[in-house]
Each structure stands twice: as structure tokens, then as C-alpha cells.
Structure 1
Amino acid sequence: MSGEGAGSTVLVGRILGPWGVQGWVSVYSWTDPPEALFDYRPWLVGQEQRQVELSDWRRSGKRLLASLAGVDTPERVAELTGQDIHVPRSLLPPLEAGSYYWHDLVGLEVINLQDLCWGRIQRMLPTGAHDVMEISGGSSPNVLIPFVQPDVVRQVDLEAGRVTVDWPEDWVD
């Protein structure tokens, strides 16, 4: 998953827009697998995190579609279009030691073994082989470092807000 910060809710998706004329919405999911978005209820939508109940969902090709209680016209959907979907953090399953949710990593400071600050994690990128940290705000404008434990990522300290990596300065050009 991806999202921002370590608050009481977690960003898990976004309402993209209407699908058909009966109030269905197309949604984007940051969960893995994408369908896991529908396992979390209730949805808290928008900046005000208004509670919305999921009535039904389905796939249409590569699209994920949802039917929301009380949202039965394209006009009602238009009010939700572009809104983020959050869920209570307490709904997430616990992780094994050494595993992290992406939203917990975003914003952490990244330093190397020589105490060089690379910056802060802006986002995590799935690449197939390994997840990659996109880092900016430090000694280089933008740095991509693979999130490979323990070879590259030596320590993650959520309390201190820091990730320690074995990534020397001369590896970035």
C-alpha cells in the first residue's frame, strides 16, 4: 500500500469518476492486491473523511467498480469524483517483523552509513524485482534507492523517523 503519514487513517484508493448511469464509481486502489480495497469498511472519503458504505463491487476489464450506499446517480458520483479513500488504520492486518506498510515509510529521512542525508522518502515505487524509494530534499536532487533488506536497507527506525542505507555517495551521478 501507499499513502501518507502514520495517523489514525490510511490512504488506500481514490474515486476516479462515474461508471454508467446507475451510480457506480470507478476506483483506483493502492492496496496489494488491488481488490483488497473492498475488504476494508467503512470507507472514509475526502478531506472531511465522510463515512461511505460499500454496497457492491466488481471488475470490468482492468477497472475496479464500486456501488456506494446512497450514491445512485451520476450527479451524486460527481460530488465524490477525485476524492481520496481512507480506512481506519486499525483495520490493517499486522505485519511480520521487518515488514512495513509503504505509508509508514513515506516521509522518513534516509541516511547512509557515512551519515550523509539523502533526503526524505517521497514515495515508494513497485518495480517488479524490488520496491524502490524515491528520495528528495537531501544532498542530491532526486535519488532512487532499492528497498532491499538487509543488503541496502540496513535499518528502519519508525520511532526516530529514519532509514539507514548502505548506499555510498559515489553511487549517485
Structure 2
Amino acid sequence: MSETQNWVAMGYIKGAFGVKGWLKIQPSTEYTDSLLDYPEWRLVKGKDVQIAEIEAGKAVGGELQVKFSHINDRDAAALMRGYTIEVPRESFAETEEDEFYWTDLVGMQVVNRDGVALGEVVKLMETGAHDVLVVRGEYGEKLIPFVSHFIDDVNQETRTITADWGLDY
């Protein structure tokens, strides 16, 4: 794995599970077991960075239980608590037209149809019915439903989202 890759945080290690080196993982993916699609993870905690190879894993409820090939007991597993799990953005599956990964939308600038800058996408929220952009800028925080009724265009080259959204909304 090259150092120039664009790494994306996809969850964190909650702690040890059992006595054979298994770990409890809190994924930040749409599907609990999506992280198992990546055979290697980069683990980051402060300045400590390591690559971990997945030996086995399973989804249990909203949690992931994983065994790394280099960790074989509870003590070693306990030391992994608090590490952020990252995977290379380049290994994500291609999206369909008008589909986007949340990580690609965060940081984009949002402008309305009048060309007024509403701010930057700081995160997304899942509401059940649809996803919502959380946009912060000089006009405060705006919650904009990420649906075609309000979103006119997502330009990945210019990192700009055009929305049908007034300043007084």
C-alpha cells in the first residue's frame, strides 16, 4: 500500500472480545459487514500507524467482531482499543450515476441557485427517509435534504454542490 493513497476513516476499535485476540469494531459504514470487503486495514492512533490483515470477521448486531492475523491473545487485543480503522479510497467500489460516498461529499462547497455560498458540507446525517447534508457557513448551519428535489448538481471536479435552497430556510 502506497503512502500517497487517500485513506478514509471507516470506524474504530472498541476493545477486546474473548481470549483469542478477537476485537469489537464500531464501523461507520452503511452496512455493518462492509469493512470485511477490505482484506487489509490501516490502524491509526496518534502517531502510531500499522497495517492489519484480517484473518476472520463477522457481524453481530450493529457491531463487527474481527480477528487480525498478528493478534492472538486478549492482552494484545486490549492494546488495540481506540485505533481508528482506515481503508484506501481507491479501493471503494465504483458508484452508480447520482450515487456518492459520504466521504466524497464532506468538504464540498454548497451554493444556491443564486450563486450564494451557503457553506461547506461538514457531515451527513441519515434520517431514515433520506440523507441530509449538514452545511456550515457564514449564514449558520443549514440542514439540506440530499434528494433531487433540492440538489441540482454535484460537481466532483470543482467540489461544488448546487442546491435549490434559500438563505431563509
**Could you state the TM-score of these two structures normalised by the residue count of structure 2?**
0.88
Distance 1:24 1:97, change over 3 A: same
Long gaps (5+) in structure 1: 1-6
Identity %: 31
**Per-residue deviation, 1:102:** 0.5
Give the counterpart letter for 1:143 in structure 2. K
Distance (Å, rounded) in 1 between the aligned partners of 2:49 and 2:113: 40
**Per-residue deviation, 1:29:** 1.4
Partner of residue 114, structure 1? 114
Partner of residue 3, structure 1? none
**Per-residue deviation, 1:128:** 0.8
Distance 1:73 1:137, change over 3 A: farther
Partner of residue 87, structure 2? 87
Question: What do the CA deviations read for 1:87-139 (whole angstroms, capped 9, x no partner)?
Answer: 12232111112211110000111111122222111111111111001111331
Q: Is the 8 A contact 1:120 1:138 kept in 2?
A: no
Q: Is the 8 A contact 1:125 1:133 kept in 2?
A: yes
Matched positions, count: 163
Distance (Å, rounded) in 2 between the aligned partners of 1:93 and 1:35: 15
Matched, 1:144 2:143: yes
Distance (Å, rounded) in 2 between the aligned partners of 1:147 and 1:135: 11
**Per-residue deviation, 1:49:** 4.2
**After TM superposition, which residue ranges in structure 1, 4 or more long, deviate above 3 angstroms?**
59-62
Partner of residue 166, structure 1? 164
**Per-residue deviation, 1:61:** 4.0
Q: Is the 8 A contact 1:17 1:78 kept in 2?
A: yes
Partner of residue 102, structure 2? 102
Distance (Å, rounded) in 1 between the aligned partners of 2:59 and 2:99: 29
Q: Is the 8 A contact 1:118 1:135 kept in 2?
A: yes
Partner of residue 33, structure 1? 31
**Could you state the TM-score of these two structures normalised by the residue count of structure 1?**
0.86
Q: Secondary structure at the match of 1:35?
A: helix
Partner of residue 15, structure 1? 13
Question: What do the CA deviations read for 1:41-93 (whole angstroms, capped 9, x no partner)?
Answer: 21111155421011111234443211111212233223321111111223211
Partner of residue 130, structure 1? 130
**Per-residue deviation, 1:36:** 1.3
Q: Is the 8 A contact 2:32 2:63 kept in 1?
A: no
Distance (Å, rounded) in 1 between the aligned partners of 2:59 and 2:29: 15
Q: Is the 8 A contact 2:153 2:163 kept in 1?
A: yes
Distance 1:12 1:21, change over 3 A: same
Give the aligned CA root-mean-square deviation in angstroms: 1.7
Partner of residue 58, structure 1? 58
Long gaps (5+) in structure 2: none
